[in-house]
Structure 1
Amino acid sequence: MQAAKPRIPLSLVTGFLGSGKTTLLTQVARRYHDRRLVYLINEFAPADVDGRILDVDRDTLVTVAGGSIFCQCKVTEFMGRLKQIHERSSVSTEPIEGVVIEASGIADPKVFGQLLEETRFDQIFQLCLVLAVVDPGTFGKLRHTLPNITAQIEAADRVLINKTDLFSPAAITETRNELRAINPAIVVTETQYGRFDFDIFTPALPRHLIGQYAGCADPNYAVMELAYTRPMDIERLRSELSALQNNIYRIKGFVPATKGYAYIDATPSGVNVRTMPKIQIEPVLVFIVPPEHTPTAATLRTRIARGDFDL
C-alpha cells in the first residue's frame, strides 16, 4: 500500500488593520529563507497593497483581494487558491514545504478549522499555528466595538504584542491583561517590527472552534480608493493624515513623490512613510474608516484628487 503523502503545514496570521501582519511576514520570509513557502495575502480592499511590499519571489505569492477570505463572497475563491497551491506542489519535484496565510484585518478566523474540515482540505493541509498580531494603540480602544478583534484572539494559539517600543510599560501590561481575559490559554510575546523566535509551523493542539461565515458587506467599515499619478508633497500629506488619526482605521498605499514613490501607512498609532524607487502596481491610496467618518475621509480624497497636495 502506498503511504499517504504528508500534509502541507499551514499557519494563519491574523490581526487588526495596521497591527503589523505584513511586517511579521517579512520576518517569516527571512527566518525561513531556505524553505519553499507560499504566502497567501488577503486584502479587505480591492487593491493589493500588502502583497506588493512583501519582499518575496512573485511566484511564491498568492493574493485574494476585495473582502475577507472567511466571508461568503470570497470563501470559494480562497478555497480555489488553496487547491491551486496543492496542485502545484503535487506535480513539482520540489514540493511546497509550508503555507502562510495573512488574513485581512477585519477577518473572523474562528470558522477556519471548520472550513478545512467541510471541504476536506484538512487531509491536504495541516493547520499549525494561528498567530494574532496586536497593536497596543488600537486593541483596547476598538475591541469592544469591533467583534472581529476579539474573535481573532479567541482563535489564536499565540499573540504578538507588536510595536512595544512605541508604548509605555503600563499600556503593554494593560494589553496583556486584556488578552488573557479573552483567551486565558494564549501564549503572549512582546516584540517590535514583528520579530519572533519560535517555529510557526509547530502543530498546535486542536481547538474545535465554531464560527460563522461573514456576510459580503461589513457595516463596521467603509472603504474607498483613489488612483493618482502626479507627484505629491509627501510631508504635507503626512501632516494631514496625522490630524485624522483618530478618525480612521487605516489609510495605506503608494503615491508618486519627488523621486520615485512613497508607501503611506496611516493608523491611529501613527503615520509611516517609506520611499520606494519603483512599484509593481499603479499608484493607489486605500481608505478604510468607520462609517461615521466617511465624510471626513471623502473630503480628504477629494482634496487629493483635485491637486491640493501636488508639488
Structure 2
Amino acid sequence: MSQKIDIILLAGFLGAGKTTVLNELIRSFHDKKLGMLVNDFGEVPVDGSLLKNENPELLKEGHKIYEIGNGSIFCSCLKAPFLYGLKYFEKELPELLFIEASGLSDPSSMSKILSDHNMEGSFEIRQTITLIDPVKYKALVHVLNVIEKQIEAADHVLVNKIDLVPAQDLKELLEDLKSRTSAPIQTGSFGAFDYSFILSAEASHKNAMMESCNTPATRPASLFLEGSINDEQVLKDFMSRVEGAHYRIKGFIEIGGRMLYVSDNSVGYSITETVKPGIKTGLTVLCPKENEQNIVELWKEICGIRI
C-alpha cells in the first residue's frame, strides 16, 4: 500500500456524545472517502443505525460503516471481529477511518494491535480524541479506571455538553483535566467543535506499546431487554426507577405503532420518535454486575416482558 489509511480514534465514556460528534465529523469531512468502524458494547449495535438514520446519503456516496457489538474492541474477547473490521477497510481504502470505540473502551493498546498484526504499513493513528461528559465526570473518574485511561490516551480532549454545567463546575473540571493530560482541550455542546486539528496534526505516537485494561474479567453486565409495550408511561416509569443503577441504556422500542429511540443522558433520559431501524428492537443496558438481577426483575415486574 503506497499511502496509509489515517485512523481517527474516538473514545469517551458512555453517553458523552460520541455518535453526535461522529455525525459532525462526517459532515466536516464529507468530501473525503470515509470509513466508520462503530463499536457498541451491547449485543445489538445501535450507533450504526443512528448514523444511517442521521446521514441517509452516507452509504450512497460510497462511505462505509462496519459495526461490532458485544464488548470493547480492545478486549481479547473481540480481537478477531476487530481485526476482520480493519482488514475490511484495508480493501476499501478510505482516506479517513473513524473508529468510534464503545464507552467502556480503553484505547491504550491501539498501536500495539496494529504492530502485533503487521498492520502498521496499512494504517496510521492520526489522532485519539477523548470526549468528556462534564455532568458525570466528577462522580465517575475516581470509580472507573477506564476514564483515566481514555484521558491518558488522548491527543485531543473535547469537553461536550458544557451547556449542562455551571461555570464554576466547568472551571474545576478543566483544571482537573489539565492536571491529568497535556493534550489540547476544547469545550462545546452538541458536538460543535473546531475539527481542523485532525488533518493538521502530526501522527500520534502516544501509548505506543501499552496494554488495554479491557479484559473479560473487567466487563460489566450487558443486558438486552425486548418485547412489546403498549403504554409509553410504563417505559418512562422503568427509566425513572433504574436511574443510578446503570452505566448506559439505549435502544429502539415500538409503542402503539410508533418507533421510539430511548437513551439515557446526562440529566435523565430522552424518548424520541424515529424511523424503524434495521436491527432488532429492544433496550441495551450496561450496568455493574451487582445490579443486573435487580434490573432484570424490574423489567419483568413493570413490563411483563421476557429477557
Shift of 1:244: 2.8
The runs of 5 or more residues in structure 1 that have no matched partner are 90-95
Shift of 1:259: 4.0
**Does 2:187 align with 1:190?**
yes
Helix, strand or coil at the partner of 1:180: helix
Shift of 1:302: 1.3
Shift of 1:205: 4.3
Encode CA deviations 1:209-241: one digit per residue, 9 max, x unaligned: 44224565244621111122x344334423431
TM-score normalised over the length of structure 1: 0.88
Encode CA deviations 1:163-201: one digit per residue, 9 max, x unaligned: 111111122112212211211x11111111111212334
**Does 2:225 align with 1:221?**
no
Aligned-partner residue type, residue 71 of structure 2: G
TM-score normalised over the length of structure 2: 0.89
Instruction: Give yes or no for contact 1:40–1:61 (8 Å, CA) kept in 2.
Output: yes
Aligned match for 2:9, one of 8, 12, 29: 12
For 1:1-311, list aligned pairs within 5 A: 5-54=2-51, 55-56=54-55, 57-58=58-59, 60-89=64-93, 96-183=94-181, 185-199=182-196, 200-201=198-199, 202-214=201-213, 216-219=215-218, 221-228=220-227, 230-267=228-265, 269-306=267-304
Identity of aligned residues (%): 29
After alignment, is 127-136 or 209-218 more displaced? 209-218
Distance change (3 Å), C-alpha of 1:215 and 1:206 = closer
Encode CA deviations 1:81-100: one digit per residue, 9 max, x unaligned: 111111133xxxxxx21100
Shift of 1:40: 0.3
Encode CA deviations 1:49-102: one digit per residue, 9 max, x unaligned: 11110134356110111111111111222112111111133xxxxxx2110000
Shift of 1:278: 1.9
- Give the Cα separation in 1 of the matches to 2:279 and 2:147: 30
Shift of 1:305: 4.3
Instruction: Give yes or no for contact 1:19–1:133 (8 Å, CA) kept in 2.
Output: yes
Instruction: Give yes or no for contact 2:10–2:131 (8 Å, CA) kept in 1.
Output: yes
Shift of 1:281: 1.4
Shift of 1:267: 4.2
- Give the Cα separation in 1 of the matches to 2:289 and 2:147: 17
- Give the Cα separation in 1 of the matches to 2:82 and 2:71: 11
Distance change (3 Å), C-alpha of 1:220 and 1:86 = closer
Number of residue equivalences: 297
Instruction: Give yes or no for contact 1:14–1:103 (8 Å, CA) kept in 2.
Output: yes
Aligned-partner residue type, residue 260 of structure 1: R
